[in-house]
Structures are given as structure tokens and as C-alpha cells.
């Protein structure tokens, strides 16, 4: 039995360290500057004030070019917003609906059941407005990039003057962390770009941290519930397994 446990844990360690190519790929570029988000880790929870500030950054900055199509306004209750606040936010957006009885599409104010609208009608329109580049939807951005939250934060804060011998394409920007270092997105954040409702000073690092926290929530809204349920499940199955082991030993003691 002891040997079995040793073998199983060895296999687990191997699995955790050796066989994760995604983790390896993330370290190809420079080391990521900030990866220590409070929601990462076994008992980690989202930083609620940062989530709300991050929503503000997304709405006032990112949403000019990036969609968030998997998030409906009603989902914002998870950030601690009241129904009235959510309604007010939804109403600031114009949503295309229809066709009406005359067969025409029309615009109306958003409702809590609507999803964040895309800033562009389609991919071609998005590319036409962005120097040929397509700003990706942000709903899954922290889940869909190697390096996860740390990578998105690094991109937002990684703009620099290019080295003297670097040939930067026209309309492109130099980013320390982007693969190939040429990124079409202009530096999105500048100190004081938003005026935080809670009075926090809007430094680039703070805004980046906040919006990355918000986007992590958008990608994994189930995270807190998942970990909380997981803890209970593990305690239950752990106790059950211990009891079953005790019964097992007892029954096997009869064998001669």
C-alpha cells in the first residue's frame, strides 16, 4: 500500500511538472512582472473592489475595440452590483434588435439580459479600423493565453521604446512581452486615464491589475464557487475513503 501511494504521488508530481507544455511555453519571453493575483491559489477569491474598478476600466478603455460577448449585464451581480445599478449600466448601451413588425432592425436601450455588444459589426470592420489587426474578444483572454493573468497584465504594462536596431512596422508598437514584440494595439493605459469612483489613484499598474482581475472573472465566473464546493467535496471524499479503508482492513483481517 505504501509503495502504491509513493508511486501515485510520483506520477502526480510528474504530471504537475513535466507534462505541461503550456506552462513551459509561457516562460519563453521575459519573466512576467506580476502574477500574484489574490484569486489565484487554492483558497483565492476575487478582489471585489478591484473587480468593480476593472469593470470601469473595461467599459471606459478596452470596450472601444474589444468585445466581451460571453458576459451579460445580469452577470454583473457577481461583482456586487445591485439590480438597479445593472439596469443603469445596461441602458447606457444601444443594442440592435428586430426585425420589428415592419421588418426593420432597430436600436433600443440595453436590458440586463443583453450581452455586452461588440464594438464592431464584424471582423472586417474591426480590421479596417485597427490597421489590419483584429482586437480579440476578451471574455476568455486570461484562460486562452499562456501565462494567463500574468501575461495579460504584462502586455498592458510592457510598452517600451524599441531597441535602436529593431525594425518596427508602420503603426506598430513595441511591447516587451508580446511574441515578436510588435503589437498593433497602442499603449491602452496612461496614468489618470480613468477617474475611479472609489477614489483609488488610477496609475497604469493599478488599472492593469484591476482590469485583469475583472477579465479573469469574465473568463472564470465560477471560480469562487468551484473552490468552495471543491473543498467540501474533498473533505467528504477524504473521510469516506478513510472509513472505507478501515472497513477494508477489518474485513481482510478475517482471511487466513
Partner 1 sequence: MSSPVPRNKVAQWIEYRLPVFSWVSHNLTDFPEPKNLNYWWNFGSLAGIMLVWQIVTGIVLAMHYTPHVDMAFNSVERIMRDVEWGWLIRYSHMNGASMFFAVVYIHIFRGLYYGSYKSPREILWWLGIVLLLLIMGAAFTGYVLPWGQMSFWAATVITNLFSAVPWIGGGVVEWLWGGFGVDNPLLNRFYALHYLLPFVIVGVVVLHIWALHHRRSNNPLGIDIKSEKDTIPFHPYYTVRDMFGMGAMLFVLFIFIFFIPNMLGETINYVPANPMQTPSHIVPEWYFLPYYAILRAIPDKLGGVIAMLVSILVLFILPWLDTSKVRSARFRPIYKQLFWVFLADCIVLGWVGAQPAEGVNIVISRICTAYYFAHFLIIMPILGKLERPRPLPESIHEAVLKKRGPAQAAAAMEKH
> What is the binding site for partner 1 (CB under 8 A)?
1, 4, 8, 11-12, 14-16, 18-22, 24-25, 42, 70, 75, 136, 139-140, 143-146, 148, 179, 219, 221-222, 226-227, 229-231, 233-234, 237-238, 240-241, 244-245, 247-248, 251-252, 255-256
Q: How far is the CB of 193 from partner 1 (least distance, A)?
A: 28
The set of residues, in sequence order, having a beta carbon less than 8 Å from that of 50 and lying 6+ positions away, is: 209, 210, 213, 214
Phi and psi for 94 in degrees, rounded to 5?
-100, 125
| Grid cell for residue 156 | 498592458
Nearer to partner 1, 124 or 143 (CB): 143
Q: Where are the beta strands (DSSP E) in 46-201?
A: 94-97, 106-109, 173-174, 182-183
Give me the least distance between CB of 23 and partner 1, in Å please.
8
In DSSP notation, 173-199 reads: EEBTTSTTSEESS-----TTSS--TT-
| Least gap, CB of 204 to partner 1 (angstroms) | 26
As measured in angstroms, the least distance from the Cβ of 214 to partner 1 is 16
Rounded least distance, CB 147 to partner 1, Å: 8
Nearer to partner 1, 22 or 128 (CB): 22
Find the shortest distance in angstroms from Cβ 82 to partner 1: 21
Judged by beta carbon, residue 132 or residue 192, the one nearer partner 1 is 132
179, 30 contact by CB (below 8 A): no
CB closer to partner 1 out of 109 and 246: 246
d(CA 41, CA 237): 21
DSSP three-state, residue 128? helix
How far apart are the C-alpha atoms of 50 and 46, rounded to whole Å? 8
> Which residues sit opposite 173 in a β-bridge?
183
> Do the Cβ atoms of 185 and 133 come closer than 8 Å?
yes
CB-nearer residue toward partner 1: 147 or 202: 147
Closer residue to partner 1 (CB): 136 or 187: 136
Q: Is 86 helix (H, G, I), strand (E, B) or coil?
A: helix
Q: How near is the Cβ of 58 to partner 1 at its closest, in Å?
A: 17
CB closer to partner 1 out of 139 and 213? 139
- State the cell numbers at 226: 468551484
Amino acid at each position: 500500500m505504501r509503495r502504491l501511494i509513493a508511486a501515485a504521488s510520483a506520477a502526480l508530481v510528474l504530471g504537475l511538472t513535466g507534462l505541461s507544455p503550456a506552462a513551459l511555453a509561457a516562460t519563453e519571453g521575459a519573466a512576467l512582472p506580476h502574477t500574484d493575483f489574490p484569486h489565484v491559489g487554492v483558497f483565492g477569491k476575487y478582489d471585489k473592489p478591484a473587480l468593480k474598478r476593472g469593470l470601469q476600466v473595461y467599459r471606459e478603455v478596452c470596450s472601444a475595440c474589444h468585445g466581451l460577448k460571453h458576459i451579460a449585464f445580469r452577470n454583473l451581480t457577481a461583482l456586487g452590483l445591485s439590480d438597479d445599478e445593472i439596469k443603469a449600466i445596461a441602458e447606457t448601451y444601444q443594442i440592435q434588435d428586430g426585425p420589428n413588425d415592419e421588418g426593420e432592425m432597430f436600436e433600443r436601450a440595453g436590458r440586463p439580459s443583453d450581452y455586452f455588444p461588440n464594438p464592431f459589426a464584424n471582423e472586417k470592420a474591426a480590421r479596417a479600423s485597427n490597421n489590419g489587426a483584429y482586437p480579440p474578444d476578451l471574455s476568455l483572454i486570461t484562460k486562452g493565453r499562456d501565462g494567463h493573468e500574468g501575461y495579460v497584465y504584462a502586455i498592458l504594462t510592457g510598452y517600451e521604446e524599441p531597441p535602436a536596431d529593431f525594425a518596427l512596422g508602420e503603426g506598430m508598437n513595441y511591447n516587451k512581452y508580446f511574441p515578436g514584440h510588435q503589437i498593433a494595439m497602442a499603449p491602452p493605459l496612461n496614468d489618470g486615464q480613468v477617474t475611479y469612483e472609489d477614489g483609488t489613484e488610477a496609475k497604469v499598474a493599478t488599472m492593469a491589475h484591476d482590469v485583469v482581475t475583472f477579465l479573469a472573472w469574465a473568463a472564470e465566473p465560477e471560480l469562487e464557487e468551484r473552490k468552495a464546493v471543491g473543498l467540501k467535496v474533498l473533505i467528504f471524499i477524504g473521510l469516506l475513503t478513510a472509513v472505507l479503508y478501515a472497513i477494508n482492513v477489518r474485513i481482510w483481517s478475517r482471511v487466513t
